[in-house]
């Protein structure tokens, strides 16, 4: 449910969803491009073939309301870490809890010990959301343009404790 109590359907994404995902991703990241003063960022320059390949080889979840794709998240597991990326929410649906719902669904689908994601240091709303969801800043890497790449981590499942469907970390 969104904050306005509209039901959200969360389901895996497939390569067949690539066109919708790319359209959503581009719409969602325009505001980021404005913050950073550049449209030269991977979510805006990624091709349809690249999105299709990502969706074929990795994991992704989509959030739909009435059949419309309003949110997407992609993730992969690397050893014991859930690597989260490309969280995209339709501009008219931002602030409705969709990003939080997708993050939670990705975390619950994983058996990893911790989750990691990153954003730019000027993306203050993203950082606030991630912190509210339990993520803690773990590193800042200067980008040479006066901004930093901010990495955040969150513990999920302790070592030796298998995840259970529906269990929260």
Instruction: List per-residue pLDDT tens for the chain, 169 residues long.
Output: 555 667 899 999 999 999 999 999 999 999 888 888 888 888 899 999 999 999 998 789 999 999 999 999 999 998 899 999 899 999 999 999 999 999 999 999 999 999 999 999 999 989 999 999 999 999 999 988 888 999 999 999 876 555 444 444 4
| pLDDT of 1 | 58
Asked if residue 102 belongs to a domain, the reply is yes
Q: Are 61 and 89 in contact (CB under 8 A)?
A: no
Q: Identify whether 50 is part of a domain.
A: yes
Instruction: Identify the CA nearest to 107 among candidates 10, 2, 8.
Output: 10
Residue 13 near residue 61 (C-beta atoms within 8 A): yes
Q: Is residue 168 part of a domain?
A: no
What phi and psi values does residue 34 have, to the nearest 5 degrees? -65, -40
Buried b (16+ CB within 10 A) or exposed e, 29-67: beebeeebeeeeeebbebeeeebbebbeeebbbbbbbee
CATH number for the domain harbouring residue 134: 3.40.630.30
Total of domains in the chain: 1
């Amino acid at each position: 449910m969104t904050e306005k109590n509209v039901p959200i359907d969360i389901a895996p994404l497939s390569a067949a969803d690539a066109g919708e995902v790319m359209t959503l991703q581009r719409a969602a990241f325009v505001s980021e491009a404005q913050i950073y003063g550049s449209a030269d960022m991977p979510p805006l320059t990624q091709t349809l073939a690249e999105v299709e390949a990502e969706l074929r080889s990795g994991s992704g979840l989509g959030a739909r309301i009435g059949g419309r794709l309003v949110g997407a998240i992609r993730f992969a597991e690397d050893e014991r870490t859930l690597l989260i990326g490309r969280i995209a929410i339709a501009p008219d649906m931002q602030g409705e809890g969709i990003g939080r719902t997708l993050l939670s669904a990705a975390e619950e689908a994983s058996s990893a010990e911790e989750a990691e994601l990153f954003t730019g240091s000027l993306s203050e709303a993203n950082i606030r959301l991630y912190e509210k969801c339990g993520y803690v800043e773990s590193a800042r890497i200067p980008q040479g343009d006066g901004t930093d790449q901010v990495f955040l981590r969150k513990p999920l499942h302790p070592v030796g404790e298998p995840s259970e469907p529906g269990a929260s970390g």
